[in-house]
Amino acid sequence: MEHGIYDLLILGGGCAGLTAGIYAGRAKLKAAVVEKQGAGGQAAITDEIANYPGFRKISGTELAERMLEQASSFGTEFLQQDVVNLKLTQEIKEVETSSGVLKSRAVILATGAEPKKLGFQGEEEFRGRGIGYCATCDGFFFEGKDIFVIGGGYSAAEEALYLTRFGKKVTVVVRKGAFKCAKSISDKVLSHPKIEVMFHTEITEAYGDTVLRGAVFKNNQTGETFEYKVSEEDETFGIFVFIGYQPSTELYRGQVTLDEAGHVITNERMETNLSGVYAAGDLRPKLLRQLVTATADGAIAATQVEKYITEYKEKHGIREEKNLNVSEQTEADSVDGPAIISQDLRSQVQTVFDKLERETYLAVILDDSRKSEELKKFCEEVCSICKRIHMVIRRKGEDKELEAEVNAENYPMIALLKETKEYSGVKFSGIPAGHEFNSFVLAVYNLSGPGQGVEESVQNRVMAVKRRVKLQIAISLSCHFCPETVIAAQHLAILNPQIEAEMIDISMFPQLKKTYSLMSVPALIINEKQTVFGALSMEQILEQIEKVGQL
């Protein structure tokens, strides 16, 4: 009998992958979803979903959370790991991640797609300093300012409507003469009092200094150009690019068959050219890319995997093993009053915290704000889940020695202390809720549990850092991309005492936006000198540390 082998690994935690996880769990398969960011994929960064059956309106984050909870309730694991290499052609598939090698009898590829870049002058230079690709993550940076949305499809129309909550005016720049989306959506855009639409128009340049100051547009019928210059009062403005997505399939090239655009080719049963390898969601060539088609793909792929696994086990004489669901594995402690951490989430977290090998102390330093009371309750609920986690609570100014040890600057905050009560180098300024709750759980696990595995070559690079490095990660709790950078930076801090990593909720500490000209999250600030935008792995953060000459 084989040990340590999954029946199914689902690569990608978007709606296609999570649906596959639900169906696999119900089929009693030993399955896991492997995702480098939070659950939900593109849906998780969508403010409002109004076309998914059964929900008149629901936020993308809430829908993703419900799908994850449902998959977990059937026993499917969720592994937040970055896939770095694959071996799919052999009978037992191997998935190499940032934490080691996973093996399975079948794989579903569900890594979806990522936003396309347009390539106009200044696009890369001002990414994160006025140019963005996620309205939910970055829209609040442009409160009361002008915003331009580039694109004429469904995403552009939906995000333009969402951005009217923040911008004083939203201008939609459409290359063609009409929107390419449902008329019900385009009519809302065209009739909205805060939106202006410029058809037959393209952006050719964006310019500025530390932030955006202007942009040039061209009418592609008349050839006339129009230049927008920000007012002295506004100082800057925003440009959001929504021109479609490109499939995230480069890692599969040379193993599964791709079309010219890089999509994974499958049949109607979601089978690829390789036995035991399936694909689902937006990485497939398809007529319609919507949540409903992604979930349909995931359901079909998982049911086909069930048949494949049944035949595989019969052929190899493998006895069926019971796949306990989460509610059977653990029993969460009850919490009096309205809980910050839901019961379902407690059950999931307890399976992680049960693996802790050492004591952990949460040094909580509070001020007089309402957020301090929320943070205190949050930490009390965390401690109630695991007896190895303890809380040391202080008021600002009450324990100068502790504040100096943890380099306290922003309040309220949590600093993780080792079993010896020494500072670990990891702290959270604000409440690590929303997508950052996972970052918090993994920080505790990496500090006091077996921890996530790290390749020896990466460990050697981490330990080669000999000078002090201060990493600050500006995040938004609604940002789907932020946790990857936070987790990676904090893991570096846990491995090397010379490194400190601080998660900072930008909504609670807005002065950081002005100091570093931040217009996008995640933003990694190294030694208060260099700022890098976008989701980063451990290796990528190490590269940035090397660039500022810290080795």
pLDDT tens digit string along 231-251? 999 999 999 999 988 999 999
Share of the chain above pLDDT 70, in %: 94
285-292: average pLDDT? 84
Question: Domain 131-241: which topology?
Answer: FAD/NAD(P)-binding domain (3.50.50)
Q: How high is the pLDDT of residue 45? A: 65
Rounded Cα distance, 73 and 487, in Å? 25
Q: How high is the pLDDT of residue 549? A: 66
For 240, phi then psi, to 5°, come to: -115, 130
Q: What tens digit of pLDDT does each residue of 152-175 get?
A: 998 899 999 999 999 999 999 999
Q: Spell out the residues 6+ positions from residue 381 whose beta carbon is closer than 8 angstroms to its own.
A: 335, 339, 340, 341, 346
Rounded Cα distance, 408 and 403, in Å? 5
Q: What is the mean pLDDT of the chain?
A: 90
C-alpha 310: how far from chain center: 34
Q: Which residue has the higher pLDDT, 46 or 516?
A: 516
At 61, is the pLDDT very low, low, confident or very high (cuts 50, 70, 90)? confident
C-alpha 57: how far from chain center: 22
Architecture of domain 5-113+247-316: 3-Layer(bba) Sandwich (3.50)
Rounded Cα distance, 19 and 281, in Å? 10
Within the chain, all domains assigned CATH 3.40.30.80 are found at 328-547
User: Does residue 325 register a pLDDT over 50?
Assistant: no
Question: 302 is written with which tokens?
Answer: 């998982």
Rounded Cα distance, 494 and 462, in Å? 10
Q: Which of 127, 134, 66, 68 is nearest to 476 (CA)?
A: 134
Within the chain, all domains assigned CATH 3.50.50.60 are found at 5-113+247-316, 131-241
Rounded Cα distance, 225 and 107, in Å? 50
Rounded Cα distance, 377 and 134, in Å? 31
Question: Which are the catalytic amino acids?
Answer: 134, 137-138
The domain defined by 328-547 carries CATH number 3.40.109.10: no
526-535: average pLDDT? 91
Q: Spell out the residues 6+ positions from residue 426 whose beta carbon is closer than 8 angstroms to its own.
A: 415, 416, 443, 447, 490, 493, 494, 500, 501, 502
Q: How high is the pLDDT of residue 46? A: 67
